[in-house]
């Protein structure tokens, strides 16, 4: 379990949570336990990340899949620093006042992608409510730098919600990522306790607007379950995403980063994840990834290939 004190930077990682009472931590079931193999390939991935002074969501979010992904030479980058302006109850990223943008970061991201020979990359960011455009232009510059350095790499961006940032989404869409991902994270009834700085219907509308602006961009969204949501709420959320024409949905088990974070209410068994995947397909998603260890960027490259195949089949069936 991660401590509330960030031992590398010697600062309180979650100052807004430090005085909260401890939540009970449930013992993980067998299907959640993961091995963390430290292989030569894992070290190579780590060396490239550090040499280019990059931040990864793998590490910042304490992702349970890090051993597997880094061993396979995959990492997902988190841009615009490692300090977030929001304080979601589920998230392990540090909250505080972020540093100014690093103008050299897009080039370093592109260089790392080339060194890692990534076919597909996921770029996410902290929330930057302090910036007039929420960081949209920086996202666009990262996309442009990758296109220039490794034109064959497909790009998936996982963005904040750009609330109160007029024109931000248009900047992102104009940069033409292959996949636009924005996670709903949870069902609407849990927003106040889990994602208090966000608004459910704003996030739905953001995803819908991407399709209106450029229907060729795939859209994707994900949630964590085990936060106390009802099954019917998940099914309703799927319908809301389909109304917004979202192509790809991910569902994974919420894991509690520290005692100060939102508790895991229950561990959802694998069968239930399979059932959500089946229902999602029947509701019209081109692709569903649903398992306890599913994360937005887990096997993202495979997901992109499957999306392309599913869209081609869909278009062929309409001819
Ligand atoms: S699932 Fe995503 S965030 Fe987790 S280790 Fe893999 S690439 Fe990183």
Q: What is the DSSP string of the chain?
A: ---SEETTTTEES-TTTTTSPPPP-PPPPGGG-------HHHHHHHHHHHHTT--BHHHHTT-TTHHHHHHTT---EEES-SEES---TT--SEESPPPPP-TTHHHHHHHHHHHHT-SEEEEEE---TTSTTTTHHHHHHHHHHHHHH-TT-EEEEE----TT-TTHHHHHHHT--SEEE---BS-GGGHHHH-TT--HHHHHHHHHHHHHH-TTSEEEEEEEE-SS--HHHHHHHHHHHHHTT--EEEEEE---SSTTSPPP--PPPHHHHHHHHHHHHHTT-SEEEESTT--TTTTHHHHHHHHHHHHHHHHHHH-
Ligand 1 site, residue 181, Cβ cutoff 6 A: no
Residue nearest to atom 1 of ligand 1 (CA): 298
> What confidence score (pLDDT) does residue 15 get?
74
Determine the Cα–Cα distance for residues 288 and 157; give it in Å rounded to an integer.
18
Please state the atom number of ligand 1 nearest to the C-alpha of residue 122: 7
Ligand 1 site, residue 57, Cβ cutoff 6 A: yes
CB-neighbour burial class of residue 151 (10 A; exposed 0-12, middle 13-18, buried 19+) = exposed
Q: In angstroms, what CA-CA distances link 108 with 9, 162, 178, 289? A: 22, 24, 20, 30
Please state the atom number of ligand 1 nearest to the C-alpha of residue 298: 1
Determine the residue of 64, 69, 119 to mutate for testing ligand 1's pocket, defined as the one with the most ligand atoms within 8 A of the Cβ atom: 69
Please state the atom number of ligand 1 nearest to the C-alpha of residue 76: 7
∠ Cα 68 73 75 (to 5°)? 80
Tokens of 88: 């979601």
Ligand 1 site, residue 124, Cβ cutoff 6 A: no
Please state the atom number of ligand 1 nearest to the C-alpha of residue 64: 4
Q: How large is the C-alpha radius of gyration of the chain? A: 19
Are 77 and 59 within 8 A, CB to CB?
no
Residue nearest to atom 3 of ligand 1 (CA): 58
Q: Global pTM? A: 0.94
Residue nearest to atom 8 of ligand 1 (CA): 58
> What confidence score (pLDDT) does residue 177 get?
98
Please state the atom number of ligand 1 nearest to the C-alpha of residue 75: 7
Please state the atom number of ligand 1 nearest to the C-alpha of residue 56: 8
Are 153 and 119 within 8 A, CB to CB?
yes
CA 1 to the chain's CA centroid: 21
Ligand 1 site, residue 190, Cβ cutoff 6 A: no
Ligand 1 site, residue 299, Cβ cutoff 6 A: no
Determine the residue of 54, 59, 66, 250 to mutate for testing ligand 1's pocket, defined as the one with the most ligand atoms within 8 A of the Cβ atom: 66
> What confidence score (pLDDT) does residue 18 get?
73
Q: Which of 234, 239, 220 is nearest to 297 (CA)?
A: 220
> What confidence score (pLDDT) does residue 22 get?
86
Ligand 1 site, residue 66, Cβ cutoff 6 A: yes
Ligand 1 site, residue 92, Cβ cutoff 6 A: no
Predicted confidence pLDDT, tens digits, the chain (319 residues): 444 555 555 566 677 777 778 888 899 999 998 777 678 999 999 999 999 999 999 999 989 999 999 999 999 999 999 999 999 999 999 999 999 999 999 999 999 999 999 999 999 999 999 999 999 999 999 999 999 999 999 999 999 999 999 999 999 999 999 999 999 999 999 999 999 999 999 999 999 999 999 999 999 999 999 999 999 999 999 999 999 999 999 999 999 999 999 999 999 999 999 999 999 999 999 999 999 999 999 999 999 999 999 999 999 998 8
Ligand 1 site, residue 111, Cβ cutoff 6 A: no
């Amino acid at each position: 379990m991660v401590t509330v004190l960030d031992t590398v930077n010697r600062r309180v990682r979650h100052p807004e949570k430090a005085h909260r009472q401890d939540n009970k931590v449930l013992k993980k079931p067998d299907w959640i336990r993961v091995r963390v193999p430290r292989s030569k390939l894992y070290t190579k991935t780590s060396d490239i990340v550090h040499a280019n002074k990059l931040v990864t969501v793998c590490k910042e979010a304490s992702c349970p899949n890090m051993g597997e992904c880094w061993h396979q030479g995959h990492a997902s980058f988190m841009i615009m620093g490692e300090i977030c302006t929001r304080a979601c109850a589920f998230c392990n990223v540090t909250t505080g006042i972020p540093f100014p943008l690093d103008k050299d970061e897009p080039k370093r991201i592109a260089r790392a992608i080339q060194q890692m020979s990534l076919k597909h990359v996921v770029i996410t960011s902290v929330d930057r409510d302090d910036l007039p455009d929420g960081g949209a232009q920086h996202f666009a510059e990262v996309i442009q730098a990758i296109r220039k350095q490794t034109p064959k790499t497909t790009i998936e961006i996982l963005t904040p919600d750009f609330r109160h940032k007029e024109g931000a989404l248009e900047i992102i869409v104009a940069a033409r990522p292959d996949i636009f991902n924005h996670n709903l994270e949870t069902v609407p009834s849990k927003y106040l306790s889990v994602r208090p700085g966000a608004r459910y219907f704003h996030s739905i509308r953001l995803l819908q607007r991407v399709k209106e602006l450029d229907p060729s961009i795939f859209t994707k969204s994900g949630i964590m379950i085990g936060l106390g949501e009802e099954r019917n709420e998940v099914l309703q959320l799927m319908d809301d995403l389909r109304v917004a024409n979202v192509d790809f949905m991910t569902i994974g088990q919420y894991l509690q980063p520290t005692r100060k974070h939102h508790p895991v209410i229950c561990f959802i068994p694998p069968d239930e994840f399979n059932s959500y995947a089946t229902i999602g397909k029947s509701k019209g998603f081109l692709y569903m990834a649903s398992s306890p260890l599913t994360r937005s960027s887990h096997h993202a490259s495979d997901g992109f290939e499957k999306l392309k195949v599913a869209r081609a089949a869909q278009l062929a069936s309409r001819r």
